[in-house]
C-alpha cells in the first residue's frame, strides 16, 4: 500500500490541519482548502488531537493512519466472522482486503483505502463497524457511529447509512416482502434525502462548468466500457452469490449478498438518473457512483473469504502463493504509479523526490507570508507524484490547474478566482522575468518555484538538480 502524506486529497486536509494549528499560515488563497471542509469536523479534530497530545504533525498523521487501518481491518474481520464460521475464511478475507487497499474503484477515481490520512477512510472504518454490529444483532449501537461518520465525511456517511438500511431490512424481513417493497422511485427519494450542502442547488456559471468538464470521472455516460463493466460486474456477482448461498442454506451470507445487490442496483438507478439529466448537473459533484466504494470493499472481503474456505484451506504453500500474488501485484502497481517517491514516506526521512526536497526547503527557509507561483500543472509533472505544495511547503500559492480545479467543482464561488489565476499562469514553461513581474504586480506573488537552471533575472536562494526556489525582484 505505501504511505504518502500530502498527496492527492491530503493536499486539502493537511493544509487545513496546519492552518488550524497556525493561523498565520496561508494568508493568500486559503479558501481553496477551507471552504470545501466547512461540512466536516475532520481537520479541526485532527488539530485538536495534535494540540492535546503534543505529537508532531507528521507523526500524528501517521499514527492516525495506522489506527484507521487497524479499525478497518478489525471491522472487516468482524463482518467476515459473522458470515463465515471457518477461521481460514475469515483471515483470508481480511488479508485480501488489506492487499487490495489501493485497488481503483471502477471509474470513480477512488481507491478502497487511500495511502494517506483521509476523512473518507475514517468514515468508512466507522461505517464498517456499524455494519458488523448490524449483522451481529447489535443495531442499537450503530447510531453514534453513523452520526460520527456523518460529521467526518457527509457524502460517504450518507451512502453508508443507505447500505445499513438495506442490510437491516434484509436481516429483519422476509426477502420476498422486502424486494417487493422496493421501487426506483422510492430508492431515489431515500437517496435524495441524503444530499447535503445547500450550495449544490445554487445557479451554475460557465467557469464552474469549465472546471467540472475537467473531471471526466464525474460523468457516468462518458465512462469507457471497461469502467461500466467494473461498475456492473460486482452487482452481478453479488446477485449470483445471493442465489447460490440461498440454495445451499447459508441464510446470513445470502441475505448479506442480497443487501449489497439491492443497494447497488438502487444506487445505480439513482446515479443514472442524477447524471443523465442536464437540469441536475449541480448534483454531479456529489459523485453518486461513489456507492461502489462499499461494494468493492465487500467484493474483496467476500472473495477472500471464499478463496480461504474453498481453495487455500490449511495448505501453507497455497497461503504463501495467495499472499505473494495479491500483495506483490498491488505493490508493483503502486511503485509504477509513484515511482519518484519512497514507498513509505516516514516522518523525518530525507526525501528522494526533488519536489519534496524543494517543498521542505521552502517550509524551513522562507517567510510564513511568502506567496508562491509555480507551474499550474506541477502535480502531474514527471516524478512529482501529486504531492501538494500547500500541504508540504506550508506556503500560499496561486491556484493550480489540477487539484484546485476539483475543489472548484465542489465550491463554485471559487471559480472566478481560480480561472483568473490559472489563466495568468498559462505558458508557464516559457515564462521570463517580465512574466514573473506581471504575476507580482497583479497578485502580489513574491516567490517562484521553477525548473533549474532558472530563467535569467530571478534572485534564487536554493536549487537541486531539477528545481530552483527564487524571489521575484
> What is the pLDDT averaged over residues 134-155?
92
pLDDT confidence tier of residue 423, bands split at 50, 70 and 90: very high
Q: What is the reported pLDDT for 410? A: 86
Q: What is the reported pLDDT for 191? A: 42
Pairing of strands 447-451, 467-471: antiparallel
Please write the tens of the pLDDT for every residue from 353-376: 999 999 999 999 999 999 999 999
Whether residue 334 contacts residue 326, with contact meaning beta carbons closer than 8 Å, is answered with: no
> What is the pLDDT averaged over residues 164-171?
92
Query: What is the average pLDDT value for the chain, to the nearest integer?
Result: 90
Rounded to whole angstroms, the Cα distance separating 106 from 295 reads: 11
- Per DSSP, 219 falls in state -
User: Angle 225-247/251-274 helices, nearest 10 degrees?
Assistant: 150
Domain ranges of the chain: 10-36+349-471, 62-313
Q: What is the reported pLDDT for 174? A: 58
pLDDT(96) > 90: yes
Between 388 and 36, the more confident residue is 388
Q: Which of 292, 348, 382, 336 is nearest to 109 (CA)?
A: 292
Rounded to whole angstroms, the Cα distance separating 212 from 410 reads: 9
Give the contacts of 134 (CB within 8 A, at least 6 positions apart): 142, 164, 167, 168, 171
pLDDT(424) > 80: yes
Between 29 and 205, the more confident residue is 29
Please write the tens of the pLDDT for every residue from 187-237: 444 444 444 444 444 566 788 777 887 777 788 888 999 999 999 999 999
- Kindly provide the b/e burial profile for residues 35-52, where b requires at least 16 CB atoms within 10 angstroms of the residue's own CB: bbbebbebbebbbeebee
Q: Which of 193, 123, 166 is nearest to 260 (CA)?
A: 166
Whether residue 414 contacts residue 211, with contact meaning beta carbons closer than 8 Å, is answered with: no
Q: What is the reported pLDDT for 196? A: 42
Pairing of strands 371-374, 396-397: parallel
Whether residue 200 contacts residue 282, with contact meaning beta carbons closer than 8 Å, is answered with: yes
Q: What is the reported pLDDT for 190? A: 43
Q: What is the reported pLDDT for 228? A: 94
Q: What is the reported pLDDT for 202? A: 55
Amino acid at each position: 500500500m505505501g504511505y504518502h502524506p500530502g498527496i492527492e486529497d491530503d493536499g486539502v486536509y493537511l493544509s487545513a490541519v496546519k492552518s488550524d494549528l497556525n493561523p498565520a499560515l496561508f494568508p493568500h488563497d486559503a479558501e481553496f482548502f477551507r471552504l470545501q471542509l466547512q461540512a466536516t469536523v475532520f481537520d479541526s479534530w485532527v488539530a485538536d488531537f495534535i494540540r492535546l497530545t503534543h505529537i508532531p504533525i507528521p507523526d500524528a498523521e501517521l499514527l492516525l493512519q495506522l489506527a484507521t487501518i487497524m479499525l478497518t481491518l478489525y471491522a472487516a474481520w468482524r463482518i467476515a466472522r459473522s458470515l463465515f464460521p471457518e477461521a481460514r475464511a475469515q483471515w483470508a478475507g481480511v488479508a485480501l482486503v488489506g492487499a487490495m487497499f489501493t485497488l481503483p474503484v471502477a471509474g470513480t477515481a477512488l481507491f478502497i483505502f487511500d495511502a494517506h490520512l483521509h476523512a473518507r477512510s475514517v468514515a468508512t472504518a466507522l461505517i464498517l463497524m456499524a455494519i458488523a454490529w448490524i449483522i451481529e444483532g447489535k443495531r442499537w449501537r450503530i447510531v453514534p457511529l453513523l452520526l460520527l461518520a456523518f460529521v467526518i465525511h457527509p457524502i460517504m456517511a450518507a451512502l453508508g447509512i443507505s447500505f445499513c438500511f438495506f442490510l437491516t431490512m434484509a436481516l429483519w424481513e422476509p426477502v420476498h416482502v422486502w424486494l417487493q417493497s422496493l421501487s426506483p422511485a422510492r430508492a431515489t427519494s431515500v437517496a435524495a434525502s441524503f444530499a447535503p450542502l445547500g450550495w449544490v442547488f445554487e445557479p451554475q456559471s460557465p467557469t464552474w462548468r469549465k472546471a467540472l468538464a475537467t473531471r471526466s470521472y464525474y460523468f457516468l455516460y462518458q465512462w469507457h466500457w471497461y469502467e461500466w463493466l467494473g461498475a456492473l460486474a460486482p452487482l452481478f456477482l453479488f446477485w449470483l452469490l445471493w442465489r447460490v448461498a440461498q440454495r445451499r442454506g447459508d441464510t446470513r451470507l445470502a441475505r448479506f449478498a442480497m443487501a449489497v445487490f439491492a443497494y447497488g442496483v438502487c444506487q445505480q438507478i439513482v446515479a443514472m438518473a442524477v447524471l443523465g439529466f442536464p437540469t441536475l448537473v449541480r448534483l454531479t459533484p456529489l459523485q453518486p457512483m461513489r456507492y461502489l466504494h462499499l461494494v468493492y470493499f465487500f467484493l474483496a472481503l467476500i472473495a477472500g473469504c471464499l478463496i480461504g474456505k474453498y481453495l487455500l484451506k490449511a495448505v501453507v504453500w497455497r497461503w504463501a502463493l495467495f499472499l505473494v500474488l495479491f500483495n506483490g501485484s498491488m505493490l508493483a502497481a503502486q511503485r509504477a504509479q509513484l515511482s519518484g517517491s519512497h514507498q513509505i514516506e516516514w516522518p523525518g526521512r530525507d526525501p528522494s523526490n526533488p519536489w519534496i526536497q524543494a517543498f521542505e526547503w521552502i517550509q524551513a527557509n522562507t517567510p510564513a507570508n511568502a506567496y508562491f507561483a509555480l507551474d499550474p500543472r506541477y502535480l502531474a509533472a514527471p516524478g512529482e507524484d501529486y504531492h501538494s505544495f500547500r500541504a508540504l511547503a506550508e506556503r500560499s500559492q496561486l491556484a493550480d490547474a489540477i487539484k484546485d480545479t476539483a475543489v472548484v467543482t465542489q465550491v463554485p464561488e471559487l471559480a472566478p478566482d481560480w480561472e483568473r489565476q490559472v489563466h495568468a499562469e498559462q505558458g508557464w514553461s516559457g515564462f521570463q522575468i517580465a512574466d514573473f513581474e506581471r504575476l507580482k504586480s497583479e497578485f502580489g506573488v513574491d516567490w517562484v518555484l521553477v525548473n533549474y537552471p532558472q530563467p535569467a533575472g530571478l534572485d534564487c536562494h536554493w536549487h537541486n538538480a531539477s528545481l530552483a526556489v527564487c524571489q521575484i525582484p
